[in-house]
Amino acid sequence: MSARRFDGRVAFVTGAARGLGEAIAAAFVEAGACVVLADVDPAVGATAGRIDPGGTRTLALPLDVRDEAAFSAAFDDAVARFGAVDVMVNDAAITAGGSPWTLSLDAWDTVMAVNLRGTFVGCRIAGAHLRARGRGRIVNLSSFAGLHPSRASGLHYAASKAGVLALTRGFAMELAPHGVTVNAVAPSAIEGPQLDAIDAARRDALLAQVPVGRFGRADEVAAAVLWLASDAAGYVTGETIELNGGRAMR
């Protein structure tokens, strides 16, 4: 497969300021795409400058995915800049833990609004655009927790990521007749800001659960996203790729 297989295509990536979103955006740029990096974090501009120093193939936009009007305006800005969008990647999310017995309803609502509602809005806005074009790809970021909830992840986070999988299948059914595929990636134990935030003892305990004996890398998640977004994955829709180092096999 050509290393420049996304030449002439445009990807819109939410949550792109850091972590997996940054890695995904960088991988698309390396593969030849123009990329819209959207994030509520003001650092998204610096991220765009880092992965595309010339500034010719990226557009950094401030975006709170909970705000449908702002999301729609950002998408319109992307189309105005690059002519169209070919790939939508819904990565923006809040990672949250905590006991269900002490969880506040405000915390529940915030996680659901960003992780689930934000993904729904992204799928609907991009889906309408791609449906009208008669082709395209949507890739949603779920999580191991959405498939295998545990006490280590908050129930609100797990529920939101399980909901992302339901949205993925639902939009896949809606858009399949229009040449648009919708799939999900569910990573687990990936090196980056989330793992950096936990102490050494918890890291060691988590690593002991991973049969391959190491944590995953952000570029491995990005590679799965790019494959689902490529022409090679045109017969795959409504599916979830798990990247968990063998923590769950089926």
- Give the residue numbers marked as catalytic: 157
Average pLDDT over residues 138-162: 91
Run of H or E including 30: helix 19-30
| 159 has a pLDDT exceeding 60 | yes
Mean pLDDT for 118-128 is 98
The whole-number pLDDT of residue 1 equals 43
Bridge partners (DSSP) of residue 98 are: none
**Partners of residue 137 on adjacent β-strands:** 87, 181
pLDDT tens, position by position, 217-227: 999 999 999 99
Q: Specify the pTM.
A: 0.95
Say if residue 198's pLDDT is above 60: yes
- 154 pLDDT band, cuts 50/70/90, is confident
| Sign of the four-CA dihedral 70, 72, 75, 81 | negative
- Whether the CA torsion 105, 109, 111, 115 is positive or negative: it is positive
Q: Indicate if the pLDDT at residue 3 is higher than 70.
A: no
Comparing CA positions, the residue from 72, 71, 62 lying closest to residue 17 is: 62
Assess whether pLDDT exceeds 60 at residue 105.
yes
Q: What is the separation of C-alpha 84 from the centre of its chain, rounded to a whole number of angstroms?
A: 19
Lowest mean pLDDT among 4-8, 76-80, 173-177: 4-8
Q: Strand, coil or helix: what is 220? A: helix
